Amino acid sequence: MDKIFNKLQILGAAAKYDVACTSSGVDDSASKNNGGIGNKVSCGICHSFAADGRCISLLKVLMTNICIYDCKYCVNRKSNDVQRAIFTPEELAELTIQFYKRNYIEGLFLSSGVIKNPDYTCELIIKTLSLLRNVYRFNGYIHAKAIPGADEKLLNAIGLLADRMSVNIEMPSQDSLKLLAPDKSKNAIFKPMGFVAQNISQNTKELAVYKKVPKFVPAGQSTQMIIGASPETDNHILHLTENLYKKYKLKRVFFSAYTPVSNDSLLPSLDTKPPLLREHRLYQADWLMRFYNFKADEILDDESPNFNPFLDPKCNWAVKHPEFFPVEINKASYEELLRVPGIGVKSALRVIAARKHSHLDFAALKKLGVVLKRAQYFLVCKGRKTDGLVIKEDNILQSLMSKKEFNMYRNFYTPKQLEFFDTVKLLGDSSWQALPNAK
């Protein structure tokens, strides 16, 4: 048991840099009545809390941290002097099922270093998942990595056992990949991604006709890329993300702020803090594209290639496009309402439904969940602004920023105060580096 625990310590720690582990989009209807154990719960993140406060979690672990590749940004690269370990499929399946029975986990997130070659690594993963599904009758959520370079038959076998698959892009450009991961190539990464996308599409068509066809990756595929290890702009990353959603129909693109693990002249120094604020802004922009109908080139462009560190992307877009405002709340379309800071998807739908019965005023908007602190500067009700509204730069900034962001902004521009709209325009490539405490 000590041997297994030691492996778990090594391979659990080695897996923490992979953030692509959501369990969203799973349909568990088939898993309840087939005599097996476990269930798949739809949730948005790797660890989530149900309405009753229950934490839904996945065992996140590597099959092995032994790797034939030498990616400079990776803690598991072959040249790194770290303790190595490998689970046998039997050990990992038994460990997963014991954790499940003890209610530690509800599913498995399984990735791996590449041992011997991609095919051999995939065979280990397949054997592990086969034991879980066919021997232990485990019906819980499983997210497995597709290993670039593996035979498509092996990828197909993983897809029939896992709920979700992912192929990590790792670097946001081919140049960075070539520089930092010379053993890998863009084509080797995108080929399995295309294969999985094609099989998901084909499987969806087959399921529409034959209900007993085995499901292939029912929760879809995802990917992740490392942010901050290479010089790509936010604009580049956001457009890449948009293209991935369109071309490969991904469920999610995850962004991982680079944590320095290697003292290499091609990478940020070891004392560099992970760019967590930048990662946060990318997730906010990703959310706008997936649920608010924003296009990447509306959020960032060549003139403004990086996010404003003080304003979230939606507020930043709003203050840069005064021609769209104010919006008349009683006439605006759903798409127009979504562009207003302080109005989300739910509150926009409530507004649409409520105004069928009567004209809305600001008091009614508050009851519908609209955040008037933000929205009042961009709305009119029956042609009128909210009573007593004072439109001053500081007032707007305090309304659109969190307290932490506003303090950062004030400290950044003290003692010289700039005009707000000029400020937004001025924030460029150097703004992130100018924020020593930005997280």
pLDDT at 437 over 80: no
How many other C-beta atoms lie within 10 A of the C-beta of residue 346?
A: 10
> Do both 339 and 209 map to the same domain?
no
- Please report whether residue 257 resides in a domain: no
- Please report whether residue 27 resides in a domain: no
> Do both 1 and 148 map to the same domain?
yes
pLDDT at 1: 63
Distances (CA, A) of 71 to 77, 121, 166, 182, 214: 6, 17, 19, 7, 36
Helix (H, G, I), strand (E, B) or coil at 256: strand
Q: Could you give the number of structural domains in the chain? A: 2
Domain hosting residue 209, numbered range: 1-22+42-221
The whole-angstrom separation of Cα 230 and Cα 266 is 8
Mean pLDDT for 258-266 is 88
- Please report whether residue 14 resides in a domain: yes
Phi, psi of 58 (to 5 degrees): -115, 145
pLDDT at 418 over 90: no
pLDDT at 393: 75
How many other C-beta atoms lie within 10 A of the C-beta of residue 222?
A: 23
> Do both 2 and 149 map to the same domain?
yes
> Do both 1 and 140 map to the same domain?
yes
Helix (H, G, I), strand (E, B) or coil at 93: helix
What is the CATH number for 158? 3.20.20.70
Spell out where 92-210 has E strands.
Answer: 107-111, 141-145, 164-166
Percent of the chain with pLDDT over 90: 62
- Please report whether residue 251 resides in a domain: no
> Do both 51 and 193 map to the same domain?
yes
pLDDT at 420 over 60: no
pLDDT at 38: 57
- Please report whether residue 246 resides in a domain: no
pLDDT at 253 over 50: yes
DSSP collapsed to 3 states, 187-221: HHHHHHHHHHHHHHHHHHHHHHHCCCCCCCCCCCE
Domain boundary among 167, 194, 221: 221
pLDDT at 403: 82
CB 235 within 8 A of CB 172: no
pLDDT tens digits, 284-313 = 999 999 999 999 999 999 998 999 989 999
> Do both 63 and 200 map to the same domain?
yes
pLDDT tens digits, 137-151 = 998 889 999 999 999
Looking up tokens 């625990």, which residue turns up? 5
CB 217 within 8 A of CB 159: yes
- Please report whether residue 316 resides in a domain: no
pLDDT at 257: 92
Q: Give the residues across from 260 on adjacent strands.
A: none
- Please report whether residue 368 resides in a domain: yes
- Long-range contacts of residues 384-392, Cβ cutoff 8 Å, at least 24 apart: 385/326, 386/362
> Do both 75 and 191 map to the same domain?
yes
For residue 82, what are the contacts with CB-CB under 8 A and spacing of at least 6? 14, 65, 75, 76
pLDDT tens digits, 3-50 = 888 888 888 777 777 655 544 444 455 445 556 665 544 433 456 444
For residue 243, what are the contacts with CB-CB under 8 A and spacing of at least 6? none
Distances (CA, A) of 77 to 181, 183, 258, 406: 10, 11, 15, 41
The whole-angstrom separation of Cα 241 and Cα 250 is 10
Number of H helices and number of E strands within the chain? Answer: 18, 10
The whole-angstrom separation of Cα 197 and Cα 220 is 8
> Do both 200 and 69 map to the same domain?
yes
CB 248 within 8 A of CB 279: no
CB 309 within 8 A of CB 408: yes
pLDDT tens digits, 218-242 = 989 999 999 999 999 999 999 999 9
Spell out where 336-386 has E strands.
Answer: 379-380
Domain boundary among 221, 250, 280: 221
Nearest to 170 by CA among 97, 114, 88: 114
The whole-angstrom separation of Cα 417 and Cα 423 is 9
Across all residues in the chain, what is the average pLDDT? 85
Domain boundary among 194, 221, 248: 221
Q: Judging by DSSP bridges, how do beta strands 48-49 and 55-56 pair with one another?
A: antiparallel
- Please report whether residue 314 resides in a domain: no
